[in-house]
Structure 1
Amino acid sequence: MDESGTYQQTNISIVKDSYVIALQVAKAKKPHTTGESLLKPCTVYSVRLVLGEESSQKMKLISLSNNTIKNRDAKMSENIKENMVSKVMSSPFFSLQIDESTDVTNIAQLLAFCRYITDKGIEEKFLFCRQLEMTTKSVDVLAVVADFFEESGPSWNKLEGVFSDGGLICLVHDQDSLLL
């Protein structure tokens, strides 16, 4: 690094650009390989035409490999989850809306939405989607929710209600558990 910090700033810009492109690939629902196989060659070529060879060489430094895009997606996803859980944990209480669904590969998924209080009022956001390993019975649903709570940190004591599409749900604070 030189005294002005130019090298460090360049590296930060390259990594930031990699995240921006990874986000665009994810929003477009395109394969991770799109960055390296399509976007990078087109961008390098366009930059060379418009800004010259020196700028084109800088564009080549942006890593857009399949693994890089996949890792960027995973880090952004983890950051979103941490922010969401932080908001839920800072709320005085929250509720869950849960439902199971079967994906295109015939695997049962549990979807959970959370309603909580912020300084802006009541917010409702997607909390998680997890595979139901065994069945869609209430015991298995509870196990998936419990695993998420254990690994992510929301408190059972702040959970005021759980809603689903048909099963009887009762919240028992004394036992720190749900009866489904």
Structure 2
Amino acid sequence: MQRDGLNPATELSDLSLRASYKIALKIARANNPFSDGDFIKEFIVEAAELLTPLEVKKFSGISLSRQTIAWRIAGMAADVYRQLIDSACKFIAFSIALDESTDISDTAQLPIYVGARERTTVRFSTNETHSEGYQLAKSS
């Protein structure tokens, strides 16, 4: 059965790719080593063998090697950077705060906080009700 014009192999490949990105994001957020992907994959495949033996191939197709996890995280980081740059182009004012500290294991942490105000365009309609509202606000 095909959905959205994709054949089942393409759909499975797309789902495996999405799963790989989701797991890579979890690894990055947990600050775990990239090699944990191989370890996680072992558990996923073993669980699939017990729970859905006919569909083990679907789970073993998820790419979680150390190199793949590194590529996924680098790709997501580049996307976040691009989004930040795109947003920053719209800033009319901003402030940055840095807070260097150490955590309980004496590891340095550097949170960076950015506050910004973007350009906004205010347009008044030629519609009479809007014009009247503007005149009332202006005269008050």
User: Would you call these one fold, judging by a TM-score over 0.5?
Assistant: yes
TM-score (norm 2): 0.66
Stretches of 4+ moved more than 6 A in 1? Answer: 99-102
| Number of residue equivalences | 113
1:99, distance to aligned residue in structure 2 (A): 7.1
Q: Partner residue of 1:8?
A: 10
Q: Distance in 2 between matches of 1:77 and 1:46?
A: 31
Q: Partner residue of 1:68?
A: 68
Q: Distance in 2 between matches of 1:92 and 1:29?
A: 34
Q: Distance in 2 between matches of 1:79 and 1:51?
A: 35
Q: Distance in 1 between matches of 2:60 and 2:72?
A: 18
Percent identical residues = 27
Bigger Rg, which one: 2
Q: Distance in 1 between matches of 2:89 and 2:6?
A: 42
Which has more strand, going by share of residues? 1
Q: Partner residue of 2:33?
A: 31
Q: Distance in 1 between matches of 2:77 and 2:50?
A: 35
Q: 1:29 to 1:96 in 2, by over 3 A?
A: closer
Which has more helix, going by share of residues? 2
Q: Distance in 1 between matches of 2:107 and 2:23?
A: 29
TM-score (norm 1): 0.53
Extract unaligned runs of 5+ from structure 2. Answer: 120-140
Of structures 1 and 2, the one with the larger relative CO (CA 8 A, separation 6+) is: 2
Q: Distance in 2 between matches of 1:99 and 1:21?
A: 29
Q: Partner residue of 2:51?
A: 50
1:114, distance to aligned residue in structure 2 (A): 2.6
1:113, distance to aligned residue in structure 2 (A): 3.9
Extract unaligned runs of 5+ from structure 1. Answer: 120-180
Q: Distance in 1 between matches of 2:27 and 2:101?
A: 26
Q: What letter matches 2:67 in structure 1?
A: N
Per-residue displacement from partner, 1:113-156 (whole Å, max 9, x unpaired)?
4321259xxxxxxxxxxxxxxxxxxxxxxxxxxxxxxxxxxxxx
